[in-house]
Amino acid sequence: MSIYDFKLKSIQGQEISMSQYKGKVLIIVNTASKCGFTPQYEELQELYKKYQAEGLEILGFPSNQFAEQEPGSNEEVQNFCKINYGVSFQLFEKTDVRGKTAHPLFEYLTDKVPFKGFDLNHPISEKLNSVLNEKFPELLEGNDVKWNFTKFLVDRQGNVIGRYEPTTSPLSMTKDIEKLLGL
């Protein structure tokens, strides 16, 4: 099985085969419009604009699995992202990214790069870990996605090479992205 074997639905409802991204560097990210990490859309869009011509694609997957922070319809999500952050990278329909109902793509991603914990020296990571321990302890079990804006980095050959937890800003991934792009 390869990352290119998966098919998904765009936010507009068209089927998209991951095989169309062969030869591209990918950031695959689960998103939400009403999350403290939502401003990461801005940095994701900035990376997309800067590196799209070099072969970077960003694939956003809205999910309502974390404290119901993505309650809107696919159309509402798309409009929110466009109006507030100018998002022009590919968004997909609302998707479950963890648990028994997780889309197989996210099962594949979390199998390839398991959860290694939060950097508890980072103040926001410490706070997120504390909130999850207190209110959603089940989310800390296993390798599933833990919260909105977990990012997976995929090289041009389809290898999942990195997992960046929500507290990692997209711009801090620049060095890793440039390396994969050969810059």
- Return the closest-CA partner of residue 166 out of 91, 93, 115: 115
Q: Which of 35, 67, 124, 131 is catalytic?
A: 35
- For every residue of the chain, DSSP letters joined together read --GGG-EEEBTTS-EEEGGGGTTSEEEEEEE-TTSTTTTHHHHHHHHHHHHGGGTEEEEEEE--TTTT---S-HHHHHHHHHHHH---SEEBS----SSTT--HHHHHHHHHS------TTSHHHHHHHHHHHHH-GGGGSSSS--STT-EEEE-TTS-EEEEE-TTS-GGGGHHHHHHHHT-
81 tagged catalytic: no
Q: What is the CA radius of gyration of the chain?
A: 15
Q: Which residues are catalytic?
A: 35
